[in-house]
Structure 1
């Protein structure tokens, strides 16, 4: 497992269901193509798995 994850929002949340919008907001993503670094743990992995169609993830 990597130490951190680089998460980038690659698709708009306009058509997403409210639960997915809330997950994106909880990950700290606000605008399209913006990136955040989060620790690699099961909680973050679960959030990413829920919105995997909206984000791109890289291990760093």
Structure 2
């Protein structure tokens, strides 16, 4: 299965608790961290809800 690289570009400070939990669910918790996850609809949906905090790396 294909993978996708995600980088955290925004801080979770002063963000709703739900957005912080989504970042932790993606495996991110500090600025400029990069994680590689399976490219699933669930991961894509989470990324779509956090466009101001994460970026997809090619």
Asked if these proteins are the same fold (TM beyond 0.5), I'd say yes
Which residue of structure 2 lines up, in the alignment, with residue 4 of structure 1?
3
Which residue of structure 1 lines up, in the alignment, with residue 18 of structure 2?
19
C-alpha displacement at 1:16, in angstroms? 1.1
Which residue of structure 2 lines up, in the alignment, with residue 30 of structure 1?
29
Q: CA RMSD in A?
A: 1.4
- In structure 1, the gaps of 5 or more residues are none
Query: Would you say how many aligned residue pairs link Structure 1 and Structure 2?
Result: 58
Counterpart Cα distance in 2 of 1:3 and 1:36 = 14
Which residue of structure 1 lines up, in the alignment, with residue 53 of structure 2?
54
- In structure 2, the gaps of 5 or more residues are none
Counterpart Cα distance in 2 of 1:51 and 1:15 = 14
Which residue of structure 2 lines up, in the alignment, with residue 43 of structure 1?
42
The alignment partner of 1:56 has SS state of strand
